[in-house]
């Protein structure tokens, strides 16, 4: 069941983000490479549910720049949340806090102007 649960995640991410999204499996972990130095790690948590364990970069609530990234691990994550987290990591390099500071928004805007748009 491990492989089919991760295969479902991989299939959905391919459907949403296309074949250019870089993914690989290492043991029981699906690694999604955002291409901006960030990655999301997905492991099956509960095959009956199915839910997953996710490790991903995020900005804390007091973050002021793109350098204020910390790693977070969450359990019991469902597929729609995985899609949202991967989208945020692809777009910003990390998941934004609910209310990002003005300084963080400016830092991300400056950074995005220097990066080519994702396909």
What are 33's two structure tokens? Answer: 């490479």
Residue-level pLDDT at 114: 55
> pTM score, two decimals?
0.80
107 within domain boundaries: yes
- Mean pLDDT, to the nearest integer, of 7-36? 91
58 within domain boundaries: yes
50 within domain boundaries: yes
35 within domain boundaries: yes
119 within domain boundaries: no
Domain count of the fold of the chain: 1
Q: What is the residue range of 99's domain?
A: 2-114
pLDDT of 70 higher than 80? yes
77 within domain boundaries: yes
49 within domain boundaries: yes
85 within domain boundaries: yes
Residue-level pLDDT at 107: 75
């Amino acid at each position: 069941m491990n492989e089919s649960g991760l295969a479902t995640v991989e299939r959905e991410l391919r459907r949403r983000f296309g074949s250019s999204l870089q993914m690989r499996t290492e043991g029981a972990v699906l690694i999604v490479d955002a291409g901006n130095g960030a990655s999301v790690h997905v492991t099956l948590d509960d095959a009956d549910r199915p839910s997953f364990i996710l490790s991903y970069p995020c900005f804390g609530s007091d973050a002021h720049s793109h350098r204020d990234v910390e790693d977070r691990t969450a359990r019991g994550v469902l597929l729609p949340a995985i899609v949202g987290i991967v989208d945020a990591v692809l777009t910003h390099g990390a998941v934004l806090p609910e209310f990002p500071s003005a300084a963080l928004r400016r830092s991300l805007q400056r950074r995005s102007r220097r990066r080519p748009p994702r396909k």
